[in-house]
Amino acid sequence: MTKKPSPKSPRKQRRRIYKAPLHAKRKFLRCRLDQFLQEEYGLRNLPIKKGDLVKVMRGQFRDTEGKVVGVDYSKVRVYIDSATTNKANGTEVQIPIHPSNLMIVKLELDNERKQLIESKMVQIAESE
- Read off the pLDDT of residues 18-77 as tens digits, 9 standing for 90 and up: 999 989 998 899 999 999 999 999 899 999 999 999 999 999 999 999 999 999 999 999
Between 1 and 122, the more confident residue is 122
Q: Are 46 and 31 in contact (CB under 8 A)?
A: yes
Give the pLDDT of residue 125: 85
Strand partners, 55: 65, 103
- Give DSSP secondary structure letters for 47-65: E--TT-EEEE-SSTTTT-E
pLDDT at 4 exceeding the cut of 90: no
Q: pLDDT at position 1, please?
A: 63
Cα end-to-end distance, the chain, whole Å: 21
Please indicate, yes or no, whether the overall pTM of this predicted structure exceeds 0.75: yes
65-119 pLDDT, tens digit per residue, is 999 999 999 999 999 999 999 999 999 999 999 999 999 999 989 898 899 899 9
Give the model's pLDDT for residue 5.
82
Strand pairing report for 30-33 and 53-56: unpaired
